[in-house]
Structures are given as C-alpha cells and as structure tokens.
Chains A and B, each alone.
Chain A
Amino acid sequence: MTRLVVVGNGMAGARLVSEVRARDRHVTVTVFGAETWQPYNRVLLSNVVAGTMTPDQVRLLDPAWYADHSVTALPGVEVTSIDRETQAVITAGGRREPYDVLVLATGSQAVVPRVPGAAGAVAFRTLDDCRTILEAAGTARRAVVVGGGLLGIEAARGLAGRGLPVTLLHLAGHLMNRQLDAEAGLVLGETLAGLGVEIRTGVVVEEILDDGVRLTGGETVEADLVVLACGVRPVTGLARDAGLEVARGIVVDDEMRTDDPSIFAIGECAEHDGTVYGLVAPAWEQAAVVADIVTGTDKTSRYRGSRMVTRLKARSVELAAMGETHLTEDDAEVVRFSHRAAGTYHKLVIRDGRLVGAILLGATSAVGNLTQLFDRGGPLPGDRAGLLFPGLSGSAVAESPVRMPDAAKVCQCNNVTKGQIRACWESGARDVEAVAAATRATTGCGGCRDVVEGVVGWLCEQEWVSA
C-alpha cells in the first residue's frame, strides 16, 4: 500500500490531502504541519484582521475530518530533514516517517526587512500573526503597515475598518507596483485615503521604534502597532538540504515532480517553468494534478501553468489585476478609462485580439466577463468600449408610446403589439380594461399595464388635440 507523506498543512498541503482522499481511500496519508492550527484559509486572514470573520471560521477542514478520513495529521510537528536513501522524513523530535511518495508543501514565509527593531513589529502571514495583530489593535491608538502590496493593503484596510488610524508605507513609487501601473496605483491610494488609510509611497524604513517607524531622512511616523507586509519567500531549506534542485523555489516539472521522482512539491514553495506562484488557485490546481498522479486516477494529468488574477479583498475597494498590466501603447493595444474622482481606473491590454492584461479598479459589472476572457484567452469583439461598458452596446427599448413603432410588442404574454392596441382604440376602446377585453393585453403577468395605459392615454390625447 502506498505511503504518502505530506510536509506542510497549509492551503496547498491540506488541499492535496483532501484531493487524494476524494480519489482513493486506501493510500496511507500522513501530514505534518509546522503550525499548531488546523489548516486554515490564508485568503480569509484579512477578514479576520477586519473583524468580519473569527479565527475558527477560516479553517479549511473540520477537526473531525482527519479521523473520519483515516488521515494522520501531526500539527506543530516540524520536519527537519529528508533521508532520500531510505525514503523517510525525520522530525525535530527524531521521529522517522517512511514514505513511498513525499509531497513538499512548505509554503513561504514573510520577509522581515533587516532594520533595527524589526523584532518589535508583527509580520502579517499566519493566523498566529493575526491574533497578535488583533490583540495589539485592541489597545493601539495608531498603526503603521509597512509594505503596499496586496497583503499590506488588505491589512491596512482591515485595521482602518476597525477605526484605527493607519499609515501605509511603501518603498516603491506607487501601491501594488508589481500588479499596477502608476496611475492605477495613484487612484487606488486615493480610494484608500478616503477610507482612512494614509498613504506614503517612495519611503524607506530605517528603524522600527517602540513608538513608531523612523524613515530615511529622520522623519518618524508614530505608531504603537507596526505590521510588516514586505513580501514572502518560498520555504525551501528542507529541499535544499536534501539536495533537491532549488532555484527561487523547488524546481518541478509538469507533474509537479522534483528531480527526485518520489518527491513532489506544490504551492508557494514550488517553481514551475520559472514561476513561483503566490496565489491559491495555482496551488489548488497543482494539488489536483499530484492527486491524480499519486492515486493513479489520471496518470496523464499535467500542470501547464496558470494565468494569474490578483483580486484585492478589501471592503469598499474593488480591484482586479491580471496579466501584463505594465504594457503601454508602444507594445500592445491599450484601452483605458480613467475617472479619478470616482476612484475608477480601467485598463485593458490586448494583443492579437486577445486580452493579455487588465486593471479594473472601482466597481464594474464587466469584471467577471473580462476575467473569464483573460482566463480562457477568448476572442474579443471589435467594440472594445463595449467590453468595459457592457450596457453601451445593448440598445435601450423605447417605451415612450410616441416613439414606439406599431410593430413593437407591448404585451409579451399575449403577443399584443402597439398597432393592435391602436386598432382596438380606433374601434372604440378607451381604457385599459376595454383593451384587455379585446386583445388580452395585461392579462398575463400584468407587467405591461403601465405601457398599455400610456398608449391608450396618448391616443386619447392625440384625439383630443386634433378635435
């Protein structure tokens, strides 16, 4: 019987375990987690900071799930080395766990900037971090968030939503500089400012103090809570020590297999085709591929890379960014709509008639369709404006009785046109009831009553005017 060992019980590891169990009930599964928590949904941590979810509402699996599915879970047990010769992992406590298949899902860890006093700040990465932040937020009077990427913005928005004054410090010239162009970053900053987050871009943190943050140039930003969101790096030490090929992440092929055929890697610790994905969707796709292969459900299953869509999860801020957002008119066809006063900035990047990048900032009903066009590489219509403003291409129905042509259908339920109502009026009908009796208009759903009334009224008016 196959013995599967999974190192890492985060979003990738936990997903893999449940995907395997959904396919095969017999594989022996042992999963190690460095954190003591049940696996939880990291995507929802900003909700915990914002106070809309409690820590026990973000778990991925019920506590009873492991027993019900005969999976051995060892939370809080750290794996310190891999013995590839004998195919076993060894824990900090000296336990040896033999494997036939090993999956590394060690994720990534927060980058802590090398500045004095950094130990006094809280990283924003784990559920434990969230608890620390929440405890501090209870008594804090001002907060600083260092890092204006996705996580930093979500943390800042969450803290501001609790009524805490927040300053967001960002090294680059504009927020989310990896995903957004400068104008989008600017508009996003203005939106956040309106929600109580003070934005400082282009600033370098020199030191973290007890009562704030000192910037280059000597200025101090006051805070009694400092949250760090300065990016993450893949956790690859275990793989590196075991002699597996590691670049930025653990290098895997399309089966998510490392250069040791019995060892796979998935999620944020893995590097596929030169890319380390920091989002959950690719990790879950990768988990499904490994589950297919390990259980033999589909030996031909392969991971071919993912299109990345970044979606900010912050209340009252709608932002989706995908693909090659930095391209300009020099490199591609670009469609842009900007309305800073409304917090709106939309940019589409098109190449060969396909959407290869987009920034959609500010609420838009087009976001779902555009995301799907990007995901699927679907062909775009000639009318680019209609992509951003779907309402524009659909012509409004003229319901004014004057402009309505005689052939226009007034009552769908009984298939009555304006012309028929006119004819009915001409033979003497002077109110809705009379028209209904003659044509059955209004007798179905009743929704056309106002229009019929309008047509009859207008006809009466015409007669009155001409009389």
Chain B
Amino acid sequence: MKRPERTIGPMPISLPTRTPVKAGTATHCPYCALQCGMNVTVDVTVGKTVTITPREDIPANAGGLCQKGWTAGELLTSGERLTTPLLYGRPVGWNEALDFVADRIRAVQEEHGPNGVAVFGGGGLTNEKAYQLGKFARMVLKTSQIDYNGRFCMSSAAAATNRAFGMDRGLPFPITDLARADAVLLAGGNVAETMPPFVRHLTAMRGRGGRLIVIDPRVTATARQADLHLQPTPGTDLALALGLLHIVITEGHVDEDYVAARTSGFDAVRTSAAAWWPERVERITGVPVAQMRVAAAILGDADRAAILTGRGAEQHAKGTDTVSAFINLALALGLPGREGSGYGCVTGQGNGQGGREHGQKADQLPGYRRIDDPAARAHVAAVWGIEPEDLPGPGRSAYELLDALGTADGPRALLLFGSNPAVSAPRAGHIAERINSLDLLVVSDLVMSETAALADVVLPTTQWAEESGTMTNLEGRVLLRRQAVAPPSGARSDLEILRGLAVRLRGAEGFSTDPREVFDELRRASAGGIADYAGITYERIVAETGVFWPCPAEDHPGTPRPFLDRFATPDGRARFVSVEHRPPEEDIDHEYPLYLTTGRVLAHYQSGAQTRRIPALNAVVSGPFVELHPDLAERLEVSSGETLRVISRRGETEGVARVNPAIRPDTVFMPFHWPGVNLLTNPALDPVSRMPEFKVCAVRVERAG
C-alpha cells in the first residue's frame, strides 16, 4: 500500500515514551527457555509501578517480547501473592512452619527410612536452586527420591541427544545461526505461540530465501508461516522421520563423506530406513508422499540447515526414538557439528536446560554427571565434604515418583518446589489421589497453585525479579537474572528455606543463601563434568551477555558450538541409532474414536499458576477450550462456544468448542494450562526417558449438559 506523503505531527503526550526514563535493572523474563532479556524499572513515586522493556543486547529476543513478557511485572504486585507461611491453611510464622516441617520429616524418616521423604523440583528454578535442591535431598535428607517436572519436558530429547552426541545441550549452536540457514525443519514445535520472539530468527532466515518446514497435526500459528507444512496423524512423527530419511537416501542426499568421517552406525540405520518407503509412511502418517519428497529436497539442497524438535514430537512413549529418528536424518544430511547447521531441541521451561544439569534429576549429580558413576560420586562428595558412599543412588523418575506417593514402599512425605503436578502430571486425577494419601506435603510457591492448595504446609517464596540467580537458556547460554525489586516482607527465597531446613535437620553448614556463593560451589561441583560451569562467573555473564557451557576455566571463551571438532562420545563420532516406528500406546477405536493432543496458547505458561493470575493474559484466553475440525463439529452437531465434554479411559473434563479447520478431522486439541485436560492424558512412559505420552491418547467428545 502506498503511503501518502505528508508530515507526521508530533506524538501526543498520552503515548508512552519508547525509551524508559532510566534503564532499570537488566534481567530476564520469568517464563520460557528463550529467556528474553528485559529491563525492569520500578517507579516508586507512582505506587510501585513496574515497567518492563525489552533488551536489545540479548540475541535470543533481540528487542522483542511477547505479551507474557510485557505483563510479567503484574505478578510482583498482585494481591494473589502468598506472603506468609500456612500450616493447614492457618497463617504462621516462619519458625513455626520450618520447625513443623523438620519435625515431621524426622518422624517420617524414622519410621520409613530416608526414602520416606521425596523432593520434586522444577525446570523454572534457577541453577542455584536446582543445585541446592539436589544437594539438600542427597546430603541432608539422604533420599534417592528426587526428580522434577523437566522429566515431562526435555527428557526424551535429552536421552536421544546423549546417545547420539554424548552430550545434551538443547541447541548446540547460537540461536542466531538459524537466521543464516537455508532450511529449518521444526518437528512438533509451535514457537509462534510458545516463544514468539524465536520467530524473528526464522523470519530473518526466510527473508534471506531460506525455507521453513513445520511438522504439526495442527495448522498452528507457526505452521501458517511455513513454506511447507506436514500435518501428520498424532503419534506418527517417528514414521514420518523414517520416511524422510528413506527419501534422503534414495534421492542421493546423504553426505557420505561426513557420514564416513564423523559418525558410526549408519549401515544399520540405512537398512532399517529401507523398510520405510514413502508410500508406506503416507498410509501411517497421512502425509502425502509428494510433500515428503519436497521436504527431503529442501533439506537435501540446503547448504546450511537445522532440524529442530519440540514437545509435539517428544512427549510420547516413543519420544526418545522419535528424536533419534530426526537426529539420524540430520546426521545423514551431515548437519550436526557443522557451523551454521545442526540438530537442536527447542527447550520449553525457563531453565529446562540448567535444571537438568545440576542434580535435581533422579539419576544425576551436578555437571550432568551420572549418579551411578563412581568417579562422579567421588568428585561431588568431595565438594560437599561427605563420603561417596553417603550419597544415595538413582531414584524414581517423575511420574513413577508421583505414582508411588503414599504407597506401601513409596515416599510418605513430599517437598515440592517450582511445580504444579496436580495440573501438569498425566492422569492428574490419580496423581492428586496419591498426593492426598501423603503424611506430609510441603509446597514452596508464590501463589496458591492447585497443588499448594492440597499442602499441609505452604511456604511463600520469592520470584524472579525479587531474587538473583543464573538461568541456562535454550542455547546453553548461561544468563544472569538480577534482582530488580525488593521481595514482599514474609516471602523467603528457596535458598533460605533449604538452609532453614538443613540447619534444623542436621545443623548443617554449607547451605548458603547467597546465590553467588551457591553458584561458585556449583562451578566447583560441575568442574570436569559434561556441563562444566567452572569458568563462568557472574561478572563474565554480564560482560559477555551470557557464557556458553562447557566453560572449564575463567580464561576459556565458552563453547557456542560444542561439536565442531568432535562429538562428546568416547570415539568423538556421532552415533546413528536404529529405531522403528510403533503406534501410540492407546490408539483410537469405536469407543474412543478421536485423538486428543495437548499444547499451549500464547497467553499462558505451563500449568497457568502464574499467567492465569494476570488479568491481561486471562482476558485473552480465560479457560480451557476444545479445538475441533468443522467436519467433526458437523457430525457432533456443535458450534463454537458450546461446552463439550471430552472423555478418555482415565477421566473426563469440559471445554468450550472452537471450531477450526486448522486441525485434522480425527483429532481434537486442548491447551493444558488449566486443571482438567491432564485428567485425560495417558501416563504410558517412554522406556528410556520415562517421558509420559502427553501428546496423544484416545477420547470421545460429546456435548455437555
């Protein structure tokens, strides 16, 4: 459209100025793994108003923010903030609350042993908190029963990248590499809703003539921007990846020199891919052969390309194998470990990356060390000043841990930090029952989440802008979140809570409440490990706008692209892993004739405990909905706005119908930011990663009432 040539008058004063009067505190967003840089300014003259503006110096967002980021400050002053400990719902002082918790932990452990008490963490916790939580569990509680909600998030990609590359770092390259690629394949990710500023990098790529391929059962906001959208049946991404590999092989797109020089195991994968000819894959996935061929050609013709996976491909009982299949595709094309190309997983939670590196996972110690590795145990025990044999062994994975609560040989008490499993766990109705059968539930949170509402003791904790700590974003770049405002009186940081309990239970020293001191200890504990933070300091993070791990020494520049010379496997080669497609654990039938898939909307984050309490976000989407195709709506005789009941073998819930041709006719979609949808989901677990099958189960849909 041609713009008229005329002078634009001066801006009226009612418009906010673009640059804040003072820069405020440079920090990062409380939400997703993009960890957008933002400035937080507090204007004490106008009733403690918090102003947020995007930072230009952080490459991940490069000046962008989504509505969640812009409104993040509202929860700092929200009336929903918890500011006093609650004991059975009664406000009490901190001493009374912590004394009570310590007494009960002691009692439970006397009767049931150390493993009678479990700890459940979260991928939103800072590195310092995640580290301290793991140390507290192993050293103070001496329990093996610790895991975290990242198991529901990154575990399949983590398992697959570990077996392929010997290292799990979400993106093993800076996010800005994407803009320089000729092609990006995104399998099961909807970044336009989950982390909008991410799209800027894809837009830049497309602006240069690069092409975007999206695999998703829905025509998502991201899929609409794609040059090619493949729309498979839920639960068939693995077959699709095998089909694409088959075509890459038959069309001669395999980078044979790279395969010979930098990988192992291709022969077996080549043979297994031969059984996945495109016409067979079409019948399983519903993706036309012609589209698969176009996708393979785009990838095969690209000089630089990236293959990315998100939760849509990963949250399955075969999620690990699915990611392996996409990694195999990337390896056959010669992408990983080449500058400007690669495979990466798009991390979800704010500190999903760092949260899985420093010891809150059932089988791990800080530095991404294995808890069953004697050398790792010796190293970490030395840092903690204990004997290696005093460290417990591996414990249960997240769902198995929750499923065991209150059972004969399961934990009787649970300490929960930064998670809301009553909403977010699969088969959530059953998990709520397990939680209710506990002798003791202690929840540290900043608002009264659905799980906190079940707790015997609720401990009000500080949140992002009220405390400092490091976060490791989706690129593996360690960032510093700096305190910008004073916490409300009454709230304490998780580090203070853990110290309070450690002192009461063991008279323990060595539980600092200063994030920088904890980080310095984390650096020592991670030194020599896969995720080596030894050379990273707060000062360096600020000066260099983040440092990529591994960074073994203060004079080491950090590692933006860890696989350029060799992979982190013993022989330095990436490993092809032969995998086969298998159907979803629960396929559709006459009784439950539709697939349910779950996901996110832009205005909300995770279980919604934070974002549902921000009016501007709640106004965008205020409750659960059911997205369904017009053909299905016609058959059910429903229209948009009517209430639907969705029923699976595990439970039922309701949502408002949203009729939309953007979804397959055999599939319904529900966002998971509200209680309800996870009453339906299938807790079948991936045999390797223990990831539940969130992304596909069988349901039937009917009109409510």
Could you say which of A280, A380, A445, A460 contacts B200, with CB atoms under 8 Å apart?
A445
Q: Are A368 and B287 within 8 A (Cβ)?
A: yes
A47 vs B246: C-alpha distance when bound (angstroms): 12
The answer on a CB contact under 8 Å between A313 and B16 is no
Write the B598-616 contact mask toward A (1 if CB under 8 angstroms, else 0): 0000110000000000001
Q: Give B236-269 interface residues, CB cut-off 8 Å to A.
A: 249-252, 267-268
* Complex CA–CA separation, A447 to B222 (angstroms): 10
Is the CB–CB distance between B282 and A381 below 8 Å? no
- Check if A443 sits within 8 Å of B11, measured CB to CB: no
Are the CB atoms of B282 and A311 closer together than 8 Å? yes
8 Å CB contact of A368 from B63, B66, B288: B288
Contact A412 B283, beta carbon cutoff 8 Å: no
Instruction: Indicate if B290 sits at the interface (CB-CB under 8 A).
Output: yes
Among listed B82-90, B515-523, B564-572, B628-636, interface-contacting one: B628-636
B67 — which chain A residues lie within 8 A by C-beta? 413-415, 440, 444
Q: A328 at the A/B interface (Cβ < 8 Å)?
A: no
Whether the Cβ atoms of A428 and B12 lie closer than 8 Å is yes
A458 to B616, CA, bound (A): 28
Could you tell me if B4 and A412 are in contact, using CB atoms closer than 8 angstroms?
no
Nearest CB in chain B: distance from A463 CB, A: 8
Chain A residues closer than 8 Å to B70, beta-carbon distance: 414, 440, 443
**A60 B275 Cβ-Cβ under 8 A:** yes
The 8 Å CB contact of B662, one of A62, A394, A427, is: A394
Residue of A nearest to B282 (CB): A368
A52-B250, A428-B12 known; A445 and B196 CB under 8 Å? yes
Does A437 contact B17, Cβ atoms closer than 8 Å? yes
Return the contact of B602 from the options A47, A52, A413, A453 (Cβ within 8 A): A413
Using known A-B contacts A461-B1, A464-B4, determine if residue A446 contacts B289 with beta carbons closer than 8 Å.
no
CB of A368 within 8 A of CB of B3, answer no
**Contacts A311-B279, A444-B66; A381 near B196 (Cβ below 8 A):** no
Minimum CB–CB distance for B174 against chain A, Å: 19
The number of A-B residue pairs with CB atoms under 8 Å apart is: 181
Residues of B within 8 A of A86 (CB): none
Q: B192 within 8 Å of A by Cβ? A: yes
Does B666 touch A at the CB level, under 8 Å?
Answer: yes
Of the candidates A52, A281, A367, A428, which one forms a contact with B9 in the assembled complex, judged by CB atoms under 8 Å apart? A428
The residue of chain A having its C-beta at the shortest distance from the C-beta of B8 within the complex is A430
Q: How long is the Cα–Cα vector from A438 to B8 in the complex, in angstroms? A: 16
B-contact 0/1 string along A294-318, CB 8 Å cutoff:
0000000000000001010100001
Least distance between B662 CB and chain A CB atoms (Å): 7
B271 touches A61 (CB 8 A): yes
Instruction: Determine the distance from Cα of A440 to Cα of B620 in the docked complex, in whole angstroms.
Output: 15
CB neighbours of A47 from chain B (8 A): 250
Which A residues lie within 8 Å of B203 (CB)? Answer: 445-447
B251 touches A52 (CB 8 A): yes
CA distance A61 to B10 in the complex (A): 74
Does A363 make an interface contact (CB < 8 A)?
yes
List A contacts of B63 (CB < 8 A): 443
B286 near A44 with CB under 8 A, answer: no
How far does the alpha carbon of A62 sit from the alpha carbon of B266 in the complex, in Å?
Answer: 11
A-facing residues in B209-243 (Cβ within 8 Å): 221, 225, 233
Taking CB as reference atom, which chain B residue is nearest A58? B274
The residue from A60, A364, A412, A438 contacting B288, defined by CB atoms under 8 A apart: A364
Q: Which residue of A lies closest to B281 (CB)?
A: A368
* Contact between A434 and B251, CB atoms less than 8 A apart: no
Specify which chain A residues have a CB less than 8 angstroms from the CB of B697 in the assembled complex. none
Alpha-carbon distance between A412 and B602 when the two chains are bound, in angstroms: 8
Chain B neighbourhood of A59, CB < 8 A:
271, 274
Residues of B within 8 A of A434 (CB): 11, 15
Q: In whole angstroms, what is the CA distance A446 to B199 when docked?
A: 8
Can you list, as one digit per residue, whether each of B1-38 has a CB less than 8 Å from chain A (1) or not (0)? Answer: 11110101111101111100000000000000000000
Distance in Å: Cβ of A361 to nearest Cβ of chain B:
12
Interface 9-mer from A164-172, A195-203, A265-273, A369-377: A369-377
The answer to whether A447 and B9 have CB atoms under 8 Å apart is no
CB-defined contacts of A366 to chain B, threshold 8 Å: 288
Q: Does A43 contact B (CB under 8 A)?
A: yes
B4 touches A460 (CB 8 A): yes
Residue of B nearest to A380 (CB): B631
**CA separation between A364 and B282, bound complex, in Å?**
12
State the CA gap A366–B198 with chains docked (Å): 31
Known: A62-B267, A444-B196. A365 touches B288 (CB 8 A): yes
- What residues on A are CB-neighbors of B616 within 8 Å? 415
Give the residue name and chain of the A residue nearest to B233 (CB).
A372
- B157 CB to nearest A CB, Å: 23
> Could you tell me which residues of chain A, from 402 to 457, have a CB within 8 Å of some CB in chain B?
412-415, 424, 427-431, 433-434, 437-438, 440, 443-447, 453-454, 457
Q: Which of A311, A401, A443 contacts B65 (CB 8 A)?
A: A443
Q: Are B288 and A363 in contact (CB under 8 A)?
A: yes
Answer whether A428 and B11 are a contact pair too, CB < 8 Å, given A47-B250, A371-B283.
yes
* CB proximity of A138 to chain B, nearest CB, Å: 20
Known contacts A369-B286, A434-B11; is-contact A57 B634 (Cβ 8 Å): no
7 further contact pairs, Cβ within 8 A, besides A59-B271, A376-B588, A443-B70: A43-B279, A58-B274, A313-B279, A364-B288, A379-B635, A428-B15, A434-B15
Offer 5 A-B interface pairs, CB within 8 angstroms, sorted by A: A372-B666, A376-B588, A401-B1, A415-B620, A446-B199
A residues with a Cβ closer than 8 A to B are 41, 43-44, 47, 52-53, 57-62, 280-281, 309, 311, 313, 318, 363-369, 371-372, 375-376, 378-383, 386, 390, 393-395, 401, 412-415, 424, 427-431, 433-434, 437-438, 440, 443-447, 453-454, 457-458, 460-461, 464
The list of the 6 closest CB pairs from A to B, nearest first, reads: A445-B199, A381-B631, A368-B286, A444-B196, A430-B8, A394-B661
Chain B residues within CB distance 8 Å of chain A: 1-4, 6, 8-12, 14-18, 54, 63-67, 70, 192-193, 196-200, 203, 221, 225, 233, 249-252, 267-268, 270-271, 274-275, 277, 279-280, 282-283, 285-291, 588, 593, 602-603, 616, 619-620, 630-631, 634-635, 661-662, 664-666
